[in-house]
């Protein structure tokens, strides 16, 4: 589906949330809280407004957004129950045909990351392949929790930008 920004700028709140909601994983509240800022002059302004909503949200809402992300090569990925967007993202990082050793490595790293930070490891899978993601685990496991909250949100903003480009014609 390709939508123009001028169509989007005329959407009612429910239409806007239906279309833009999935730009943030399981978090339609972000689109809902951003609708009132329309019209958006361009895709960049729309992306900026959505990210501002997240940045201005309470810490627990930011935390819930991070936690809404599925593990890479996690249970949902292996069971085939990811959202359509997440399925494509994990496949683009070539995470959909790993050896059993690689699956175990991902699961060990997901568990190590979650036990240190109490939220899932988020990296923009469409901008990173398997090796870069595994290197990211190693590097980021050394960070502080505050650094990782910041990094996770930055990665989520990249994920959102790519999803927006999929939805809307420039
Ligand atoms: N979890 C970690 N990285 C990603 C990503 O790029 N997309 C989604 N949906 N979930 C993730």
- pLDDT of 52-108, one tens digit each? 999 999 999 999 999 999 999 999 999 999 999 999 999 999 998 899 999 999 999
From the CB of 22, is ligand 1 less than 6 Å away? no
Share of the chain above pLDDT 70, in %: 99
- pTM of the full structure: 0.95
Domain for residue 137, yes or no? yes
Distance 88 CA to ligand 1 centre (A): 10
pLDDT at 136: 98
Closest-CA residue, ligand 1 atom 1, reads 122
* Enzyme catalytic residues: 69
Distance 80 CA to ligand 1 centre (A): 14
Domain for residue 90, yes or no? yes
Report residue 169's pLDDT band, with 50, 70 and 90 as the boundaries.
confident
Report residue 125's pLDDT band, with 50, 70 and 90 as the boundaries.
very high
Domain containing residue 109: 70-145
Quote the number of domains for the chain.
1
Report residue 2's pLDDT band, with 50, 70 and 90 as the boundaries.
confident
Burial 8-42 (b: 16+ CB within 10 A, else e): beebeeeebbebbbbbbbebebbbbbbbeebebee
pLDDT at 1: 57
CATH number of 119's domain:
1.10.3330.10
From the CB of 89, is ligand 1 less than 6 Å away? yes
Domain for residue 48, yes or no? no
Domain for residue 103, yes or no? yes
Place of tokens 């302004």: 45
**How far is the C-alpha of 102 from the C-alpha of 72, rounded, in Å?**
12
Residues 71, 119 contacting (CB under 8 angstroms): no
**How far is the C-alpha of 132 from the C-alpha of 123, rounded, in Å?**
10
Q: Please, how many CA atoms are within 13 Å of residue 76, restricted to the half-sphere of its CB?
A: 13
């Amino acid at each position: 589906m390709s939508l123009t920004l001028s169509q989007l700028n005329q959407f009612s709140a429910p239409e806007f949330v239906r279309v833009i909601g999935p730009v943030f994983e399981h978090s339609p509240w972000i689109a809902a809280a951003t609708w009132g800022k329309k019209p958006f002059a361009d895709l960049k302004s729309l992306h900026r407004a959505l990210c501002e909503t997240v940045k201005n949200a309470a810490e627990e809402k930011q935390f819930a957004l991070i936690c809404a992300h599925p593990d890479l090569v996690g249970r949902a990925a292996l069971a085939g129950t990811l959202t359509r967007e997440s399925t494509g993202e994990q496949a683009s990082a070539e995470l959909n045909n790993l050896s059993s050793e690689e699956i175990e490595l991902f699961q060990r790293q997901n568990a190590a990351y979650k036990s240190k930070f109490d939220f899932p490891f988020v990296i923009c899978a469409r901008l990173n392949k398997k090796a870069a993601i595994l290197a990211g685990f190693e590097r980021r496991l050394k960070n502080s929790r505050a650094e990782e909250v910041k990094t996770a949100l930055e990665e989520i903003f990249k994920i959102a930008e790519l999803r927006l480009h999929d939805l809307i014609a420039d």
